[in-house]
Structure 1
Amino acid sequence: MVNTNDFRRYSYEGDAAYALEAFNKTRSSAVPQTKKAPKRKLTLSPRTVKKSRSQLVKEQRAARVKVIETVAVVGLVLAMFTGVLFTYVQKNELSKSISQIQQDISVAKSDNVSLNAQLESLVSVSQIDTYAIDELGMTRLQSNQITYIDTADYMARQAQETQAQEAQAQQDDAE
Structure 2
Amino acid sequence: MDYNELIALWTKAFNWLYEKDVALFETDVQERAIAGRLAMYLQHEFDPHYEKTACIDLEYNREGNGVKRPHPRNEEGWIAPDILLHVRKKRENIFYCEVKKKSDTYNADSVRVKDALVDRKYQYGLNLYYVRADCAKVSIYTWIGNNIQKIDYVYGPTLKQLKALGDAEYLKQ
Q: Same fold (TM over 0.5)?
A: no
Flag the structure with higher helix content: 1
Which structure exhibits the higher relative contact order, with contacts defined as CA atoms closer than 8 Å and separated by 6 or more residues? 2
Q: Which structure has the larger Rg? A: 1
Shorter-chain TM band: under 0.3
